[in-house]
Amino acid sequence: MTSPDRRHLRWRKSSYTGSAAQDCVEVARADEREVAVRDSKDPDGPMLMLTGGQWETLLRACRVG
């Protein structure tokens, strides 16, 4: 997997995140196969690149706890 150009990513936070929340994870669709994940406190820091299947697995694990 290659890292996409950050300038073209449209980052978003969960709708459950309040406006005052600082500890957030942001996600962006990198392309039709990958999702980029980053720490909102460090927008220029590292990104985690996940395939669609990995993203779905992560979401299921978060829902279960």
Q: Which of 23, 24, 31, 22 is nearest to 49 (CA)?
A: 31
**pLDDT for residue 40:** 86
DSSP letters spanning 5-64:
PGGG---B--TT--TT--S-EEEEE-SSSEEEEEETT-TTS--EEEEHHHHHHHHHHHHH
pTM of the predicted model, to two decimals?
Answer: 0.76
| Per-residue pLDDT tens over the stretch 2-48 | 566 777 899 998 776 666 667 788 999 988 899 999 988 898 899 99
Contact 28, 10 (CB under 8 A): yes
**pLDDT for residue 25:** 87
| Per-residue pLDDT tens over the stretch 51-65 | 999 999 999 998 997
